[in-house]
Structure 1
Amino acid sequence: MEALYRTFLVFVAGYLFIRFTGKKAVAQMHTFDILYILILTNIISAPVEDNNIGKAIIYAGITVILYKIFIRLSLHNKLRWIIYESPTVLIHNGDIDRKGLKRVRMPMNELLSQLRVKGYTDIQSISIAVMEETGNISVIPKSEYRPVQPNDLNLQVKKEFIPIPLIMDGQIIYHNLKYLQLDREWLINELENKGELVENITLATLLDDGKLFIDNNEEKDYKSNPFYYKPGKDN
């Protein structure tokens, strides 16, 4: 029972510290972001093995404060270049930068693999490829190889609309209904008109035309249509 209590207390304390730190620490992490997470996890896990819960929480709090100070310092341009690593050019105007590859210790096959993941098979089509300070690779194609944009064809397109979820996994998203100035009664009436029940809906979203898109738990049977083949043994 005591072990359960101590584990729960450490877990809650660690969760609160990471929430206080912010999303950045667990998103695209820099070198000292990773170091921070490693130190914090070691500190907060120590009380599971001994009785120094209070001391561990204090040390964890100090670590969080130091990390927040580093984040604040990184906002200044001069200090940012000291705290963070600089981006490294890997490809420039279709030519591989071997010095850049050597600097980031990336073999050629891994570079080609990363480019394929991003949809590029020919390095000659790439204007610049850079390994960012987070370790991700950014690729900008040459102008003649980039996707055609509506502006290139002088086309007028309508403003992008993000479908708004109203039901997810059989549960109504009430704060989205409130944002749209709608209520549960309106939603239920819409579902009844479509012969649907809330508990049977995987996802329901409001579209830009005011209509509901509904994906329920029923799977359509395409009767061995090769255009709807699904990989795996359960096809």
Structure 2
Amino acid sequence: MEIFYRAFIVFIMGYLFLRVTGKKAVGEMHSFDLLYIYVLTNIISTPVEVNHIGKSLTYAAIIVILYKIFVRLSLYNKLRWILYDSPTVLIRNGDIDRKGLKKVRMTINELLSQLRVKGYTDSQNIEMAVMEDTGSISVIPMSDYRPIQPNDLNLDVKKEYIPIPLIMDGQILDYNLKYLQLDRRWLLNEVEKAGEKVESIMLATFLENRKIFIDNNQIKEHKNDPYYYKPGKG
């Protein structure tokens, strides 16, 4: 029971500390973001092995406060360039910057791999590629190779609509129904008209035309249609 009690306390307190810190600390990390997670993890896991829960949690609280101070300081431009690494240019006007690659310790193979991930196969088509301070790579293609935008064709497009989930994994999302000013009776009626049962529905979403799309757990058989080939033994 003592081991369980320690593990429970450590887990709950660690979770609360991360909630207080905010989502930024567990997203794409800067140097001190990563350091913060490593240090906090080591500190809050110590009580599982030794009898210093109070002292360990105090240290963890201090680390949280220090981290939040660093985050606040990083909001000031003059200090931001001290706390964060500046972006590094890797490609400019289609030419690979060898000094930039050397600075970030990246090989040309790795750079080309990152470009392929972004959907680009030829470095000559890149206006600029930059490694940001988070370690991610931003790519700006030359104007002739960027995707066509509706504005290029003088097209007026309607606002993008995001389907709203109403059922996920067989559970009704009442807060979304309430937001749409609908009730369970309406939803159950729509599900019944579709010949489905709530518990068998993987996802049901509310569409722009006020109808619902239902994705159940069943996979349609397509026999030997090559367009539905599935790798593996079956």
Q: TM-score, normalised by structure 1?
A: 0.98
Letter in 1 for 2:54: G
Matches within 5 A, 1:31-110: 31-110=31-110
Q: Deviation of residue 223 (structure 1)?
A: 0.8
Can you list the C-alpha shifts for 1:199-224, whole angstroms capped at 9, x where unaligned? 00000001111111100011100111
Find the aligned partners of 1:207 and 1:125 in 2 and give their Cα distance.
39
Structure 2 equivalent of residue 137 of structure 1: 137
When the two structures are aligned, how many residues end up with a matched partner? Answer: 234
Work out the CA distance in 2 between the residues paired with 1:231 and 1:163. Answer: 31
**CA deviations over 1:31-88 (Å, ceiling 9, x no partner):** 0000000100010011111100000011100100000000000000000000000000
Q: Find the residue that maps to 1:196 and give its secondary structure.
A: coil
Q: Distance in 1 between matches of 2:231 and 2:160?
A: 32
User: What is the match of residue 156 of structure 1?
Assistant: 156
Structure 2: distance between partners of 1:210 and 1:158: 17
3-state SS in 1 of match to 2:145: coil
Structure 2 CA distance for aligned equivalents of residues 153 and 231 of structure 1: 40
* Structure 2 match to 1:195: 195
Deviation, 1:92, is 0.4
Letter in 2 for 1:176: N
Q: Separation in 2 of the partners of 1:114 and 1:134?
A: 15
Secondary structure, counterpart of 2:144 in structure 1: coil
Q: Distance in 1 between matches of 2:7 and 2:28?
A: 28
- Matched with 2:173 is 173
Equivalents in 1 of 2:93, 2:101: separation in Å? 15
Cα distance in 2, alignment partners of residues 232 and 61 from structure 1: 50
3-state secondary structure, aligned to 2:63: helix
Partner of 1:226: 226
Structure 2: state its 5+ residue gaps: none
SS across alignment from 1:111? helix
Question: What amino acid does structure 2 have at the position aligned with 1:177?
Answer: L
> RMSD across aligned C-alpha pairs, in angstroms?
0.7
Name the CA distance, whole Å, in 1 between partners of 2:168 and 2:224: 29
SS state of the match for residue 203, structure 2? Answer: strand
CA distance in 1, matches of 2:149, 2:95: 26
For the residues of structure 1 that align with 2:62 and 2:85, how far apart are their CA atoms? Answer: 25
1:215 aligns with 2:215: yes
> What is the CA–CA distance in structure 2 between the aligned matches of 1:231 and 1:131, rounded to whole Å?
35
The CA distance in 2 between the partners of 1:108 and 1:210, in whole Å, is 50
Secondary structure of the corresponding residue to residue 144 of structure 1:
helix
Cα distance in 2 for partners of 1:58, 1:171 equals 40
CA separation in 2, counterparts of 1:231 and 1:13? 45
User: Match for 1:172: what amino acid?
Assistant: I
Q: What is the CA distance between 1:143 and its match in structure 2?
A: 0.6
**1:233 positional shift:** 2.3
**TM-score, normalising length: structure 2:** 0.99
